[in-house]
Structure 1
Amino acid sequence: MAELHTSAPTTTYDTPTPRWVSLLTDVGRPVVAAWVMIMCAPGEHHLGKLAGWNDTLAWGMAGVLAAYAGIAAAVASKRPKGAPGKTSAVLGAWLSLATAMSAQPVSHMFVTGHWTAEPRPPVWLVVAVSCIPPLVLGHLLHLAATPVRVTPVIPQAQPVTAPVAPPASAQEPELAPERAPAPIEYSDPRCAAIRPLYDDGLRPGTKAMRAAIVAAGFESPSDGVIRGQLRAEIEQHEPHLAQLPPAPVAISA
């Protein structure tokens, strides 16, 4: 016989989040994102100027990298797993993050004097920074042109199995005959003389019970014996008889 293994019920606790925590989370994330872009913008602007753009156009480097990171991250999160462009969007998100991170130390190396741009910046820096805007545009156009293929889910029909009918026996089993209830044995034989009076569906009165007792050949008992002893014993064996409506006085008499 297989043993049943029951595990203890797991209790979960739902702790409400304080209002100030929710407010700090909702407001803090956009504030931190804005400050990060502001802090990164000077370094990206500086690299744009080193690559050859003028002061106004160099600010576009900060906007290009910020937009690239946001768009690639949004596409990567919205594309379902296995959809076309999902892998490319994830790589683009990491690439934009790596580009933004590398722009800061490279710019700071020139600003702090560890590297020098005199008489001109290195060739590799000019080429790398100059290629960023067209590469970002090309990748974003690739993500925009990649369709999202949605595969419809077709519900499969569940097999219907007919219930297995039990084998019909050649001969139906015989039902055991119902046994008649055993007769009630009263401690006082006068109870047997009173019991038939209940068959009319009424609870007999004292006079009717005394008449039945006398008719059965017994001496006439007192009212207290009839009600407190004889009738009490009958209704103790069959409690439902005590709930019957009382017989009219004429019938009892």
Structure 2
Amino acid sequence: MEGVITAVAGVLTVVLTAAAFWLSYEHLQEVAAQHGMADAVARSWAWPATVDLFIVIGELLILRASLAHRVDWWAIGLVTAGDGASIALNVAGVGQDANVLNYVVAAVPPVAALLAFGALMRQVHAYLARRTSTGVALPPSGVNAPSTPVDAAPAAVPSEPVQAAEPAPDLPSAALRIAPAPTPVTVASTLDEARSTAVDLCLPVIYPNRVDQLVRALYGTDFTQPSTARMTQAMAALGLGASDSTARTARGRVKAREPHLAAFPTAIAG
């Protein structure tokens, strides 16, 4: 049901946007034809685009900035200028001695075009944000148990020593005693030590920013989210300053790049 409502609202928004822009555009064409472009039909129809397209461009730039989680004041200025000019020209085209309701009728299409197109961009933003949040997430590297179990049993060692095919002739017995017997390698202890190191449990990721790389390294020491004091101390030790805001911003970038780090327990001091 929610999907049906969203689809119907989207279709109605598109229809309203198209109708409002068409009414505003046609009225502006009539204004242009009445003021010097009566004999140039193509120019009179192209002239309203110099006003209404500012609204479309500004709204698209606002959508792009919203998806990037920032504010584009230049885009907001374009929308304001385009819609203000459209409303003013539509109202001015009615004439000086017209009825008040005539001015209202002329002002409704550009206002409706602005609101309808803004609502359309809002629905597009919600759809794109939902697609981004439900995308396939990459598996965390090194935090969970390995997907392929490792056989921790020691390698098979022959029960009987390997006999040489032929004894080496004329070798003194002392020389034979010099060579030590081969020592079997215990695979279980080696694997246990490898799994217990911070490198496997928290695989390193290279960051171009030195502060980000330092903060990322702190996650692999005691497997807790580093506190602000701990980050600033490490930064000061490497000559990277001791700004709390810089440390917290770097920690946010690291967790945004590797979301699995958010599962680490928080240190006592944040």
TM-score, length of structure 1 as denominator length: 0.36
TM-score, length of structure 2 as denominator length: 0.34
Choose between structure 1 and 2: higher helix proportion.
2
Q: Which has the larger radius of gyration?
A: 1
